[in-house]
Chains A and B, each alone.
Chain A
Amino acid sequence: MSVASVILFLLAFSYNTTLVVAGTALLGATAGLVGTFLLLRKQSLLGDALSHATLPGIGIAFAVMSALGLSGRSLPGLLIGASVTGLMGVLLVIAIRRTTRLKDDAAMGIVLSVFFGLGIAILRMVQEIPGQSAAGLSSFIYGKPASMIMSDLILITITLVATITACLLILKELTLLCFDDSFASTQGWPTTLLDVLLMALVTAVTVVGLQSVGLILIIAFLITPPTAARFWTNNLRTMLWLSAIIGAVSGWLGAWLSSIYPDLPAGAIIVIAAGVIFLISMIFGPTRGVLPRYLRQLQLKRKVGRQHLLRSAYEIMEIDQGTHPLRNLPVPLARLREHRSWTKGELPQLIRQARREDHLEKQPGGDLRLSEAGFGKAARITRNHRLWELYLITHADVAPSQVDRDADMVEHILGAEMVHQLEAELDLRDHVLESPHQIANDVASCPESPPHS
């Protein structure tokens, strides 16, 4: 969907709905941005502890404002209270982790649950403060974007824009912190301060998001978009963009659907939208997605298998004819089968593939014969294999009886450049060399069957 049609679509709503939807989308974008650093710092769940820890702050702020004779439900006051206890929670997690034998997970669990328990106890107490209605406070738990009013939205927008600006200003420092914090500290960067700054940014997003997503699900806004974006790219800048876009789309979708179906919890729809995007990314994401990675592995495995097939055919001809130059004679299938230990069904499949690529032809008698191109390729592969073996024997002190196996691991990825270097190193130029070790004629005489790497 193009940007223009999105805008047109948004304009079709009432003025207020449009604002709420846009605000939630902006929140999603900011959360995606800040969450990226949280994810790369491997601190995703710290956001969960933080968001739960905001609840007592909301209750206390309500009580204090009521005691001062103000309206207990004014948003700025509540958000300040939430920020204070939220940050306090995070600092406590760090303190527990640094001063006891307890690990991360326990520290976060303790802070999260105890602060939340305190929060609901306080909310229950302040509910009965005379002259004030605390009824809206519980909407912070599940979120209710529709309850936002214009002044709330302005406050939220200002906070989010400030967060994005701050994030972009210390982009370089945050990047360094995420990728190599020990290097950062040896270079004199104040890593602890940077960590606290990152937490402050997370706090800003969390607190602002309480009203639309709720404190339980805001964590999904911080985690899911960056994790989904990670499957599409290895570049941080691209990842930041993608993560922000995914966050914005889920926020927009959630707020929009919940304006149509007001009885559905908006936070839940946002989280499910983000979850669906995550699932698609995890399966299809080109860089780290499960399916593309599987296909790449399969491709490599097949390439290696085909090279093994061609080399086996070449070696069998060598054994049969004894002298160079070799003539391209047919090779019986049975000989191929016993030359290497193939896995079940591997050989027929490889032969099919090689025939498709015109490297192999089937003779009328059932024997296999390398084609012109296949013969050349087989000679080249065998030569590379032996070059590498010789190199290992002369320069890496690998015993001749072991070298076949070691060479097997790398020969498939030797580039032309590398081959030239090897030739220069070993002072060899032309024909296919003799094998530096005895070629196993059949599997039985082989000390250990070669792996099909």
Chain B
Amino acid sequence: MTWTQNDTGILLVGILCAMACALPGCFLLLRRMSMMGDAISHAVLPGLAIAFLISNSRASVAMFIGAALAGILTALFTQWITKFGKVDRGAAMGIVFTTLFAIGLILIKKTADHVDLDASCVLYGALEHTPLDSVTLWENEGSILAVPRAALVVGGVFLFNLLIINLFFKEFTLASFDPALARTQGYRPMLMHYLLMMMVAITTVAAFEAVGSIIVIAMLIVPPATAFLLTRNLPLLIALSLALAALGAILGHLSSQWIPHLTGLPETTSSGMMATLSGFLFLLVWLFGPQGLLRRSSVQIEEPPAQVF
């Protein structure tokens, strides 16, 4: 097991990807809309397929626009079905994203002849292959600084998310904690809602190629949820999420190299292990954190409120 240039590339993409996802993930978590991340990451598929059809290329602005539109449509359709059909929101979300995902699958199958994209790539991503497609940033007297193109894309999205959240921090916070107050103060919580949905959609697309549509959900939800168990302070929550996201990605990649070696099997997917190790970090905090399960027995705390199963 040796460290290669490839590993550096994979790690870079993984860390940036996880951090880009953690930013909108914090607000999804606070708004109790984590499953919207699941819904959007599935539902961007038809948007992508149509954008491919139109632009005929994989790396294009059209792709991001298509995804952003599909993401907003998912949020809109869910809203409509909940409001006009008086359907439970979870069910409405489930119907919308499965139908859109199914349409996307068929579109991809139908266009697979002239587009370089297949269904399994959508789910798994191809993190291992990202270093193969690299961009030279700087070249001087034989020493070359090259980064994977995917790293530039997810890095760009990370900066974009950082910028949006910095610009609208107050609005996002208010809209997350008290939408009614936000409305009376003229902050347009619905506009913030759709802006967040758009951010999730764009992030999902950027991460798609690298880690696939379901690992994205892990990157969106798991680090913020872990941080949520550690702090009640919002800026700290965001900072901790970013740190946990990076840590999960690093440990994930290392264990993808190391664990199979123990059993004599070949290496496994880094993206899958990144999700697994993020989950492992969550488990540690859940059990041993300040409010952890194992700490509780010694300290008497109030009964958790009775919950419907």
Contacts and interface: CB of A to CB of B under 8 A. Distances in A.
Contact of B37 (A99, A109, A125): A109
B42 A101 contact: no
Contact of A116 (B109, B214, B278): B214
A117 B275 contact: yes
Given A108-B35, A110-B225, A121-B273, A96 B286 contact: yes
B95 A223 contact: yes
Contacts of B263: 125
A347 interface: no
A220 B103 CA distance: 13
B94 A125 contact: no
A39 B109 contact: no
A224 interface: yes
B276 interface: yes
B99 A110 contact: no
Interface stretch (A80-88, A267-275, A296-304, A308-316): A267-275
B268 interface: yes
A312 B307 CA distance: 54
A45 interface: yes
A169 to B, nearest CB: 20
Interface of B: 29, 32-38, 42, 81, 84-88, 90-95, 98-99, 101-103, 105-106, 109, 119-120, 123-124, 212, 214-218, 220-222, 225, 228-229, 256, 260, 263, 265-266, 268-269, 271-276, 278-279, 282, 286, 291, 293, 304, 307-309
A195 to B, nearest CB: 4
Given A42-B88, A217-B101, A275-B99, A113 B120 contact: no
A362 interface: no
A102 interface: yes
B94 A109 contact: no
Contact of A272 (B38, B103, B221): B103
Interface of A: 39, 42-45, 47-48, 52, 94, 96-106, 108-110, 112-122, 124-126, 128-129, 138, 141-142, 181, 191-192, 195, 216-217, 219-220, 223-224, 227, 230-231, 263-265, 267-272, 274-275, 278, 282, 288, 290
A101 B216 CA distance: 23
Q: Tell me the dominant secondary structure on chain A's binding face.
A: helix
A74 B34 CA distance: 36
Given A100-B291, A224-B98, A268-B102, 17 more contacts: A39-B91, A101-B228, A113-B38, A125-B268, A126-B265, A129-B265, A142-B105, A191-B309, A220-B98, A220-B102, A223-B91, A231-B85, A265-B106, A265-B109, A265-B119, A268-B101, A282-B81
A115 B214 CA distance: 10
B59 to A, nearest CB: 24
Contacts of B222: 109-110, 113-114
Nearest to B98: A220
A48 B37 CA distance: 13
Nearest to A275: B99
A13 to B, nearest CB: 22
A269 B293 CA distance: 45
Contacts of B42: 216
Contacts of B90: 42-45
Nearest to B31: A105
B95 A227 contact: yes
A189 to B, nearest CB: 13
B108 to A, nearest CB: 9
- In the A-B complex, the 9 residue pairs with the closest CB atoms: A117-B275, A114-B279, A121-B272, A113-B218, A220-B98, A275-B99, A268-B102, A271-B102, A113-B217
A112 B103 contact: no
A346 B212 CA distance: 56
Nearest to B278: A114
A100 B228 CA distance: 10
A230 B282 contact: no
A115 B90 CA distance: 20
A269 B106 contact: yes
Given A45-B35, A100-B291, A268-B102, A106 B88 contact: no
A108 B88 CA distance: 16
Q: Which of A108, A117, A118, A122 is most buried by chain B, counting CB atoms within 10 A of its CB?
A: A117
A271 B95 CA distance: 9
Contact of A275 (B95, B105, B269, B286): B95
15 contacts: A45-B91, A105-B35, A106-B221, A112-B217, A114-B282, A117-B272, A120-B212, A125-B268, A126-B265, A142-B119, A181-B309, A223-B95, A227-B87, A275-B99, A290-B85
A256 B183 CA distance: 51
Contacts of B260: 125
Q: Which of A52, A100, A219, A278 is most buried by chain B, counting CB atoms within 10 A of its CB?
A: A100
B282 A110 contact: yes
Contacts of A263: 109
Contact of A102 (B36, B228, B308): B228
A96 B226 CA distance: 11
Q: Which of A98, A106, A112 is most buried by chain B, counting CB atoms within 10 A of its CB?
A: A106
A183 to B, nearest CB: 13
Contacts of B92: 227
A138 B120 contact: yes
A302 B113 CA distance: 57
B279 A219 contact: no
Nearest to B296: A99
Contacts of B37: 109
